[in-house]
């Protein structure tokens, strides 16, 4: 079975991030082991030096090769084979640990021959704010007589603090993995909703078009009948049915085309065109629909050629003019200004409409967006006209910008790469 490309990318991305996370955790574990060994080595060296200093003056050495014995990761015993003072031991421990940069807390105990037990010494805090802990019992070692024991109660915390970078990196990778999983989940949800929306639109448009076609056929037949022609009111009503049916049909077609464009991009059949005649023809069509509208072209030349699809370019101009007329509360007065600046053809549609609030002007090209204003209830539509215009511009790498005029209305400007 052929694997879906999106699912393959998601799976590969997930495997890659999990692999990096596992590798990071293994590196962190290895780094922890190395830090543990390093602390053990430093403690061994420091305790060996303490033993040498305690052993009957500076001119003698311990009889055994290494008097330091590691019982566990945080517990050491040191065989001195000679009597020593606990106060001197504490001084040597502090100084040697400081030399070896062992900055964690420690506690020590000394074997007492008279009581035959380990006598707890003291809890030594690495910070001045450290508080003395409750005495801890140290085990006795029967084979030794003159010895002391040292324990690092916070060894694990100390090692973790020295590995902050590794843990921060691991936490960051875990967060990235969680964000990735959440993003993928959201993406799949959006994909599911998009497919449902597409299926709904396809079914809806199909169900609407079938009865609508029947209404149009019946209405066109009806308007040709003599009784209808002779009755002015019936003829007007039948004409209204036909016009509104055609308008509804165009809306349905627009929704269907936009829906298809989301999943299979529009194909443009580009050719080199002289744009002024196309704009003039579109103006004539708009003025047939809105006879009261005044639309003029402001251009220094009629010889502007661009490479585009004639059908979609005509629709683009028609949508911009239609929008400008519909959102005007007085007699529409629209100017199409054509100019060339730095090899960019500027096609500006300037109207005298009601304008739009500055905070919403960037949203007018969004799908299904309709600004809430005084004309919203009067104007029919689904908020797809300017979205379609934006899509056509994007397909051809044109730039489109909308801005409010200083007095009233807005100006929508197309910026088209231009070569003479």
Report the DSSP beta bridge partners of residue 248: none
Are 254 and 246 spatial neighbours (Cβ–Cβ below 8 Å)? no
* Domain encompassing residue 288: 271-417
The predicted pLDDT at position 58 comes to: 46
Among the ranges given (129-133, 166-170, 179-183, 349-353), the one the predictor scored with the smallest mean pLDDT:
129-133
Residues 117 and 233 in one domain: no
Tell me which of 364 and 70 has the higher pLDDT: 70
Torsion of CA 386, 391, 397, 401, to 10 degrees: 20
- The stretch 298-312 carries a mean pLDDT of 84
- Per-residue pLDDT, 2: 44
Given this model, what pLDDT does residue 349 score?
Answer: 92
Is 168 within the bounds of a domain? Answer: no
Do 387 and 300 have their domain in common?
yes
pLDDT at position 358 over 60 = yes
- Verdict on whether the full-model pTM lies above 0.75: no
Are both 116 and 216 inside the same structural domain? Answer: no
Confidence class for position 319, pLDDT limits 50, 70, 90: confident
Higher per-residue confidence, 257 vs 165: 165
Q: Is the model's pLDDT at 292 over the cut of 60?
A: yes
* Residue 394's pLDDT band (cuts 50, 70, 90): confident
Q: Is 169 within a domain?
A: no
Domain with residue 217: its CATH number is 1.10.287
Residues 353 and 207 in one domain: no
- Mean pLDDT for 11-21 is 79
Please tell me the predicted confidence (pLDDT) of residue 326: 83
Residue 173, domain member (yes or no): no
pLDDT attached to residue 131: 53
**In the listed set 228, 263, 298, which residue is the last one of a domain according to the structure?**
263
> Residue 190: what pLDDT?
76
Pairing of strands 305-308, 333-341: unpaired
Q: What does the pLDDT average to over 209-222?
A: 80
Here the CATH number for the domain that contains residue 342 is 3.30.565.10
Residue 306 has pLDDT above 50, yes or no: yes
Q: Do 385 and 237 sit in the same domain of this protein?
A: no
What are 59-68's pLDDT values in tens digits? 455 555 678 8
pLDDT at 86: 83
**Would you state the pLDDT for residue 30?**
82
Least confident of 70-79, 151-160, 191-200, 323-332: 191-200
Q: Report yes or no on 400 lying in a domain.
A: yes
In a shared domain, residues 306 and 408: yes
Same domain, yes or no: 155 and 34 = yes
> Quick one: 115 and 56 in the same domain?
yes
From CA 340, how far away is CA 348, in angstroms rounded? 11
Do 145 and 134 touch, CB atoms closer than 8 A?
Answer: no
Query: What value does the mean pLDDT take over residues 110-125?
Result: 78
- Do 70 and 125 share a domain, yes or no? yes
Structural domain includes residue 380: yes
Least reliable range by pLDDT among 172-186, 259-273, 328-342: 259-273
In a domain, 40, yes or no: yes
- In-domain check, residue 25: yes
**pLDDT band of 352, cuts 50, 70, 90:** confident
Q: How many domains does the chain have?
A: 3
If you average pLDDT over residues 238-258, what whole number do you get? 75
């Amino acid at each position: 079975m052929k694997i879906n490309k999106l699912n393959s990318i998601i799976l590969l991305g997930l495997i890659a991030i999990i692999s990096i996370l596992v590798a990071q955790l293994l590196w962190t574990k290895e780094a922890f082991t190395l830090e543990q060994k390093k602390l053990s080595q430093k403690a061994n060296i420091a305790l060996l030096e303490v033993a040498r200093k305690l052993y009957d003056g500076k001119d003698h050495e311990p009889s055994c090769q290494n008097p330091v014995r590691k019982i566990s990761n945080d517990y050491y015993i040191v065989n001195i084979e000679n009597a020593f003072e606990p106060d001197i031991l504490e001084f040597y421990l502090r100084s040697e640990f400081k030399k070896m940069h062992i900055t964690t807390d420690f506690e020590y105990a000394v074997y007492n021959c008279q009581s035959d037990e380990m006598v707890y010494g003291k809890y030594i805090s690495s910070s001045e704010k450290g508080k003395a802990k409750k005495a801890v019992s140290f085990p006795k070692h029967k084979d030794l007589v003159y010895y002391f024991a040292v324990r690092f109660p916070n060894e694990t915390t100390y090692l973790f603090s020295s590995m902050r970078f590794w843990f921060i990196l691991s936490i960051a990778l875990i967060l990235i993995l969680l964000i990735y999983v959440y993003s993928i989940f959201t993406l799949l949800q959006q994909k599911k909703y998009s497919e449902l929306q597409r299926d709904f639109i396809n079914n809806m448009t199909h169900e609407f078009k079938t009865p609508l076609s029947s209404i149009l056929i019946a209405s066109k037949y009806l308007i040709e009948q003599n009784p209808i022609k002779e009755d002015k009111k019936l003829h007007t009503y039948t004409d209204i049915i036909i016009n509104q049916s055609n308008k509804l049909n165009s809306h349905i077609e627009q929704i269907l085309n936009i829906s298809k464009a989301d999943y299979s991009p529009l194909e443009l059949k580009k050719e080199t065109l002289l744009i002024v005649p196309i704009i003039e023809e579109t103006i004539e069509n708009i003025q047939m629909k809105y006879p009261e509208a005044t639309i003029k072209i402001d251009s220094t030349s009629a010889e502007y050629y661009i490479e585009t699809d004639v059908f979609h370019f005509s629709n683009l101009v028609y949508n911009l003019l239609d929008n400008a007329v519909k959102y005007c509360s007085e007699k529409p007065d629209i100017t199409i200004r054509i100019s060339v600046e730095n090899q960019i053809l500027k096609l500006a549609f300037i109207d005298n409409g009601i304008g739009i609030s500055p905070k919403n002007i960037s949203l007018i090209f969004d799908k299904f967006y309709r600004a809430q204003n005084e004309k919203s209830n009067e104007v029919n539509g689904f908020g797809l006209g300017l979205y379609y215009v934006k899509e056509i511009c994007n397909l051809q790498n044109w730039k489109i910008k909308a801005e409010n005029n200083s007095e009233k209305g807005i100006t929508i400007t197309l910026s088209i790469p231009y070569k003479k």
